[in-house]
Amino acid sequence: MKSDTLVRDAAFYKRFFSIWSMLVLYNIITLGVNLADNVMIGAYSEIAMSGVSAVNQIQFVFQQLMMGVGDGIVVLGSQYWGKRRPDAIRKFLPGAFLVGAGISLFLFVAACVAPEAILAIFTPDPAIRAAGVEYLRIIKYSYLIFALSQILLAMLRSVETVRIGFWVSLAALAVNISLNYLLIGGHLGAPALGATGAAIATAAARTMELAVVLIFALRADKKLGWRIVDIFRPDRALMKDFLRLIRPMLFTSLMFGVAVALQTAILGHMNENAIAANSVASTLFQTLKVASVGAASAASILIGTAIGSGQMDRIKAYTRTLQLMFLGIGLCTSLLLFALRYPILSLYDMSAETYHLAEQFILVLCFTGFGTAYEMPTIIGLIRGGGDARFVFWDDLINIWLIVIPLSLLAAFVFKWSPVAVICCLNADQVLKCIPGCIKVNRYTWIKKLTREAE
What pLDDT digit, counting tens, does each position of 251-310 carry? Answer: 998 888 888 777 777 876 777 777 778 777 877 888 888 999 999 999 999 999 999 888
14 plus 82 within the same structural domain? yes
Domain assignment of residue 374, yes or no: yes
pTM, 2 dp: 0.87
Report the alpha-carbon distance of residue 50 to residue 28 in Å, rounded.
23
pLDDT of 446: 94
Condensed to tens digits (0 to 9), the pLDDT of residues 299-337 reads 999 999 999 888 888 899 999 999 999 999 999 999 999
Same domain for 358 and 427: yes
Q: Rounded CA gap, 230 and 241, in Å?
A: 17
* Closest listed residue to residue 206, CA positions, set 113, 253, 138, 261: 138
Closest CA to 267 of 173, 401, 357, 393: 357
Q: What's the pLDDT band for 3 if we cut at 50, 70, 90?
A: very low
What are the tens digits of pLDDT across the range 94-130? 999 999 999 999 999 999 998 888 888 777 778 888 8
Residues 6+ apart with CB under 8 A from 323: 374, 378, 382, 438, 441
Shared domain for 236 and 273, answered yes or no, is no
Please tell me the predicted confidence (pLDDT) of residue 435.
95
Give the pLDDT band of residue 1 (cuts 50, 70, 90): very low
Domain match, 211 and 296 both: no
The pLDDT tens digits for 19-66 are 999 999 988 888 777 677 767 877 777 778 778 877 887 888 888 899
pLDDT at 2: 44
Question: What would the DSSP string read from start to end of 367-384?
Answer: HHHHHHHHHHIIIIIIII
**Banded model confidence at residue 455, pLDDT cuts 50, 70, 90:** low
| Distance between first and last Cα of the chain | 42
Average pLDDT, the chain: 89
Q: Are 391 and 383 in contact (CB under 8 A)?
A: yes
4 pLDDT tier (thresholds 50, 70, 90) = low
- Provide the pLDDT for residue 344: 85
The answer to whether position 102 is within a domain reads: yes
Number of structural domains (the chain) is: 2
Q: How far is the CA of 71 from the CAs of 77, 96, 300, in angstroms?
A: 10, 11, 9
Q: Are 251 and 108 in contact (CB under 8 A)?
A: no
Residues 280 and 237 occupy one common structural domain = no
Residue 219: how many other CB atoms lie within 10 Å: 8
3-state helix, strand, coil in the chain (%, to 5): 85, 0, 15
Query: pLDDT tens across 201-242, in order?
Result: 999 999 999 999 999 999 999 899 899 999 999 999 999 999
- Assigned domain for 437 exists: yes
Tell me what pLDDT residue 365 has: 92
> Are the C-beta atoms of 186 and 212 separated by less than 8 Å?
no
**42 in the same domain as 151:** yes
Which helix (H) or strand (E) segment holds residue 119: the answer is helix 115-120
Question: Is residue 229 domain-resident?
Answer: yes
- Looking at 188, 211, 246, the residue that finishes a domain is 246
Domain that residue 236 falls in? 1-246
Closest CA to 47 of 110, 113, 134: 134
**Co-location of 82 and 223 in the same domain:** yes
Residues 329 and 420 reside in one and the same domain:
yes
Q: Give residue 9's region: left, alpha or beta (phi > 0; psi -120 to 50).
A: beta
Domain boundary, last residue among 246, 261, 279 = 246
373-398: pLDDT as tens digits:
999 999 999 999 999 999 999 999 99
**26 and 157 part of one domain:** yes
Residue type, 19: I
In a domain, 429, yes or no: yes
Residue 253 lies in a domain: no
Domain check: are 388 and 288 in the same one?
Answer: yes
Cα–Cα nearest to 256, from 61, 34, 430, 66: 61
Both 364 and 427 in one domain: the answer is yes
Residue 263 located in a structural domain: no
What whole-number distance in Å separates Cα of residue 311 and Cα of residue 371? Answer: 29
Task: Say whether both 283 and 417 belong to one domain.
Answer: yes
* DSSP summary character for residue 451: -
The pLDDT, as a whole number, for residue 17 is: 94
Whether 262 maps to a domain, the answer reads no
Domain boundary among 246, 281, 303: 246
Q: Is 2 exposed, middle or buried (0-12, 13-18, 19+ CB in 10 A)?
A: exposed
